[in-house]
Every structure is written in C-alpha cells, then in structure tokens.
Amino acid sequence: MDQDAVKSRVLLERARTLSAREKTQTEEPGDVLLVFRSGGDRYGVLLSDLVEVADNIKLAVVPGAPPWVAGLINLRGEVRPVYHLAKLLEETGHISSEGRFVLLLRAAGREFGILAEEVEDVRSVKVSSRRPTPHGTSHSSWATEDLTAVLDVQSLFEKER
C-alpha cells in the first residue's frame, strides 16, 4: 500500500472509533459554575445567574449603610450595590473588606454585586454529583463533591432587601 492509502485508512478508522464513542456516551444534565473565594471560603454560582465579573472596580462607600454593604459601583452608567458575602451570610471568622473582583449577579430582574478575593475556576457539575449543603451553610441550594457551596442567588437577593 502507498502512504496516502495507509493514511486514509487510518483516518477513516479513527473517525469510526470516535463517532462510535459519541453515540454510546450519554451526556448527563448538569450545571456550569463559577467557583470563587470570598471571606476565605469557597463558593460557586451558576453561570446562568452571573452577569459579569469585574476586576479592580472602585467602590463608592455608602455612609450609614448596613455592614454587609461594601458600596456602590458604576458600570457603564448603571449604579449597582455591592455586598460583602460573608457579612451578608452572617458568617464569623476572617472577613476581608477587600475584594479584587465584583461578581455581578441577577435575581428577580435586578442586578447586584458581591466581592470576591479570587476567581478560581469554571466547572461543569453533573446532577448526580450534587451533594446536600454542609450543615450551617445558609443561602446555598446544594454543594459540589468537594463541598463548594453553590449559592442560591434568589435567596441572597431576598436577604439583602
């Protein structure tokens, strides 16, 4: 056999193998999460609830605001509140007043931000790998296998009101 015939046969066989694998694999439904750190803890938020991630945004401090209000941001002419997640969740321990990132979330047609020290990952999580939230974790709907609490953005929105 000549080189071109061998190459064609190998490529054809590879294509058959790959297409057979795709037919036998069934995709389990799942969700895509943005994983981040806030107040020293790891959280996840569904990408469907995330509007954008803003980096190094200057916050305007609001005098007399509740302790969970970090300030206000102006994104393209729209003013949005930004919250300290750990304070909003009434957690104790290390609570950073600084956040390099603002995660802009949407709930009930309204946008608000939460501070994040670090954005770690974007990952897919299959429905079968969901776990109950760890005891004492408020405002999360479920957890990943590594116990990353996935935030319930609607619940957070109701809490901040």
Token pair belonging to 11: 């490529």
Q: What is the pLDDT of residues 32-66, one digit of tens each?
A: 999 999 888 899 999 999 999 998 888 999 999 99
- Determine, yes or no, domain membership for 12: no
- For the entire predicted model, the pTM comes to 0.74
- Determine, yes or no, domain membership for 153: yes
CATH number where 119 lies: 2.40.50.180
Whole domain around residue 129: which residue ranges? 28-160
- Using CA atoms in the order 54, 95, 109, 47, what is the torsion angle rounded to 10 degrees? 60
Check residues 92 and 42 and name the one with the higher pLDDT: 42
Contacts of 66 (CB under 8 A, 6+ apart): none
- Determine, yes or no, domain membership for 128: yes
The sign of the torsion formed by the CA atoms of 77, 108, 128, 42 equals positive
- Determine, yes or no, domain membership for 20: no
Least confident of 20-24, 32-36, 130-134: 20-24
- Determine, yes or no, domain membership for 21: no
d(CA 69, CA 7): 64
Query: How many CB atoms lie under 10 A from the CB of residue 150?
Result: 23
Q: How many domains does the chain have?
A: 1
- Determine, yes or no, domain membership for 130: yes
